[in-house]
Every structure is written in structure tokens, then in C-alpha cells.
Amino acid sequence: MTGAAVRAPSPADDIAEVLVDADAIRAKVAELGARIAADYGGKDPVLVSLLKGALPFLADLMRQVPIRLSLDFIEVSSYGSSTESSGVVRILKDLAQPIEGRRVLVVEDIIDTGFTLRYVMDHLQQQKPESVRLVALLDKPARRIVPIGIDYKGFEIPDRFVVGYGLDYAERYRNLPFIGVLKPEVYNRA
């Protein structure tokens, strides 16, 4: 018996629209990496990535910054499995190494309301680094409640719920190579 093979559902099937394709992401990451390398050459910064969403961005970005640097990670929670930040930020994993006197560059996937980033930036400042600056792949200013200065900004996006390239909904869609708008019926059925 022969028949057409049944295609397994793909995470891309749940995407309504691609906002930023993989080629645009690659080009922007290279541009940001060149700027960071120029600004931090000879300064041995520590890149602090927020887990889990910023991990793909960090991996690609650090390869575009050909200078001495180190990495560390902080994991926070403010969303759970919702599409809206709860406004309550919890540190799930703190830095492994001290940052006192270091130049810190926080690597974040998306700046939304600003609550999470403000909490993280304040937490890092309490550890007395020489400086703390921010690189964000995506900026969603329409949702901003807490002002956040972005030193290195990738893309400004509209107020849509996006997934892909590290961004998730209920721990899914992080593996998409682009930034896409999730179909509302996906999160409305939860």
C-alpha cells in the first residue's frame, strides 16, 4: 500500500506572520557585534545573558565579537506560560562569577514592559560593576512601562506576541530561525 507521507506538524504552522527573517537577524547581529567589538576592544567585558530566551542571540552575537570576553548567565521568571508579564520577577539562577569592577553587557532577546530588565539591571548594579550596558535584539516600545535605555538595539517591533529565535510561548517555538507572530488561536486555546 502506497500513499502520501503524512507530514508532522511544524512549529512554523502556528505562525501568522514573519516579522524578522533569518537573513535580517544574521545581518543585524553582525552589525551589533562589530559595534560592540569596537566599543569594548581591550576592555574584557562580561556578557550576561538572560536565560533562556536570549541564548540563541548570545551564541550568534559572541561569535561576531572577536575580542576577549567572558560569559555568565542569569535566569529570571516573570511570564510563566502566559503571554503577559506578571510584573513579579524572580531570580531562578544568579551569576556564577563576581562582576565587581567589570564591564558588563547584558544580552537580552526582547524589551517589553521593562519590569524584568529594570529588576535585573538594578540587581547587577548592586554588585558594583564598572559599568552595565544593554544589548537587545528586539524592542517593543508600545508596551514600555518602566524606562530602559538600550545601548545596542536590534529591531523595533510592533505590539504583537512574537516567538522564535529563542522567544517562546509555554517553552515552545524557541527553535524557529526567525521572529514570527504567533497565531492568537494558539494561546487562546490554553
- The catalytic residues are 112
Q: How far apart are CA 111 and CA 158, in angstroms?
A: 12
Whether a cis peptide bond, with omega within 30° of 0, leads into 52 is yes
**Inter-residue contact 16 to 183 (CB < 8 Å):** yes
Residues with Cβ within 8 Å of 119's Cβ and at least 6 positions away in sequence, in order, are: 76, 89
CA distances, 126 to each of 47, 56, 98, 120 (Å):
17, 27, 11, 10
Q: How far apart are CA 77 and CA 52, in angstroms?
A: 10
